Homo-oligomer: A and B are copies of this chain.
Amino acid sequence: MHDQKPEAPLLNPEVTRLKPKKRVGLVVVITGYGKGKTSSAVGMLVRACGHGMRVCMIQFMKGDLYTGEWDGIRRLACEVELIPAGMGFCGIEGNPYPHSVHREAAQRAIGLAEKKIDSGRFDLVILDEVNNALKLRLVDLDQVLNLIQRKPSLMHLILTGRDAHPDIIQLADTVSEVQEIKHAYRRNIEPQPGIDF
């Protein structure tokens, strides 16, 4: 433990610790068009860290635009490997790279994911934006299904990104769809640090 802070002031003196009789490595999908998919995965990364687990987070598509979670995760005294492996969101305005370059980067990320999953070193692997990468044909369905199927049974695997494929939802244990009720950018509020990036 690298505890640098005093114990949080738990007002409740009796804290129960859940201990599942059976440990299971879950497949979790966080999809939908609302805000809070990657941040949810980062939250679970923190949760896993709190349990002393080792985490690897591979970001598909992301990598060209600075986001605070990169430095935030680096400030965690935990075994976390973070790999922003993308070239930005394929096809959006302002992104200069052709599909082939995005696909090449995503294919490298798939290879990395295979290696990390097979290494057995990690208790949690996060494939951030992989659903979106699949939708945009930067990776193939078989490749993602293969990653899910080859994972060690006790390893958790989180797949984020909009437009999750039905076959992936089918294989997953827990699936959430984050719907947008409203978003600041629709009122022309620019993305704000600490919330949006």
Contact = CB atoms under 8 A, between A and B. Distances in A.
A169 B182 contact: yes
A98 interface: no
B169 A175 contact: no
Contacts of A91: none
B22 A190 contact: yes
A92 interface: no
Interface string A66-80: 111111111111101
A40 interface: yes
Contacts of A84: 8, 10-12
Interface residues of A, number: 100
A173 B194 contact: no
Nearest to A173: B184
B182 A179 contact: no
A123 interface: yes
Interface in A139-197: 156, 158, 169, 172-184, 187, 189-195, 197
A116 to B, nearest CB: 12
Contact of A40 (B31, B39, B66, B67): B39
A47 interface: yes
Contact of A68 (B51, B66, B67, B173): B51
Given A8-B74, A77-B4, A83-B8, A66 B16 contact: yes
- Greatest chain B CB density within 10 A among A14, A40, A184 is at A40
- Greatest chain B CB density within 10 A among A21, A24, A44, A180 is at A44
Interface of A: 1-5, 8-12, 14-18, 20-26, 28-32, 34-51, 53, 63-78, 80-88, 105, 108, 123-124, 156, 158, 169, 172-184, 187, 189-195, 197
